[in-house]
Structure 1
Amino acid sequence: MTFSYERTVSTTAAPAAIWELWSDPATWPVWDPAVQDVRLDGPFEQGTTGTMTLTGPIEVPVSLEVVVPGSRYLDQLTMGELVIRIDHVVRPVDGGGSEVTVSTTIEGPGADAIGPMVTADAPVALEALVTAAEKA
């Protein structure tokens, strides 16, 4: 089974301001209500692994599958047989500001059932992210 979700928001913040928050996992709990803590075992680059503590608390392994500095990262969480991939993309827009897109794909047994729970806070997280970036 596969579940997919995508959301895009526009902001007056420059892509660099969004990237600054994304590439510093210590800020994630500030703007993402589903995240309590993130510990990476290395720099914010492709292939780095670590542990993410989600609300619950639930500790899950996390890996950075794709990192394109300044514009994109894809992280992967593994919860038993479920694999959750969250793709984060920021693009500049004409006249200034950015377009921010976050896409979530969940694969495995029960993906359709857990998907809405996993993505429930996505709109809140995106709004908090752009608000923080706009204040930076």
Structure 2
Amino acid sequence: MTTIAQAGITATASPEAFFARWADMATWPQWNTDTQWVRLDGPFTQGATGVLKPRGGPKVRFEVAVLVPGREFTDVSRLFGARLTFRHLVARDGAGATRVDVEVTLTGPLAPLWNLALGKGIKAGIQGDLERLASAAAEHGAAVEV
């Protein structure tokens, strides 16, 4: 497994607010600059499948591999010879703020090639995307602390 990017943020929005934004996949392009559109084939549940169209790239099928409301959302895209995984972890800290951490990994025999093709762009955009997501999840534009 190759970790290609990691990002984290502490925000005022609740874990449920983050999950509401993730579940509303049609709005992902509002906070994820690399995404042109996303379509989920059914409800936002573990095992659900869909299609994502990255900007400048081909459509990619994905699966909601793990969904633990209020704690974890992991989606896996199947690439030729590799799997691209986005793992999102959410937790409340002792002060009532929400911590969100994202890790992006690649596995499979062609993971090194996909890392060359995608890794730099994902790494460059992940923190900004997470900050925009936190803003979208916050009520009334509550402050976000990075």
TM over 0.5: yes
Corresponding residue of 2:143: none
SS in 2 for 1:110: helix
Corresponding residue of 2:84: 84
Corresponding residue of 2:2: 2
Corresponding residue of 2:144: none
Corresponding residue of 1:18: 18
Corresponding residue of 2:113: 110
Shift of the alpha carbon at 1:109?
A: 3.8
Tell me if structure 2 keeps the 8 A contact 1:3–1:111. Answer: no
Determine the C-alpha separation between the residues in 1 that align with 2:77 and 2:123: 13
Corresponding residue of 1:38: 38
Which deviates more from structure 2 when the two are superposed, residues 107-116 or residues 21-30? Answer: 107-116
Which deviates more from structure 2 when the two are superposed, residues 105-114 or residues 56-65? Answer: 105-114
Gap runs ≥5 in structure 1: none
Residue 135 of structure 2 aligns with an amino acid whose one-letter code is T
Shift of the alpha carbon at 1:57?
A: 4.1
Corresponding residue of 2:133: 129
Corresponding residue of 2:124: 120
SS in 1 for 2:28: helix
Alpha carbons of 1:112 and 1:58: their partners in 2 closer, same or farther (altered >3 Å)?
Answer: closer
Across the two proteins, how many residue pairs are aligned to each other?
A: 136
Tell me if structure 1 keeps the 8 A contact 2:8–2:127. Answer: no
Which deviates more from structure 2 when the two are superposed, residues 108-117 or residues 67-76? Answer: 108-117
Determine the C-alpha separation between the residues in 2 that align with 1:94 and 1:17: 18
Corresponding residue of 2:59: 59
- What are the Cα deviations for residues 2-41 of structure 1, in whole angstroms up to 9, with x where unaligned? 2432211111111111111112112211111111111111
Q: TM-score, length-normalised on structure 1?
A: 0.90
Determine the C-alpha separation between the residues in 2 that align with 1:37 and 1:135: 24
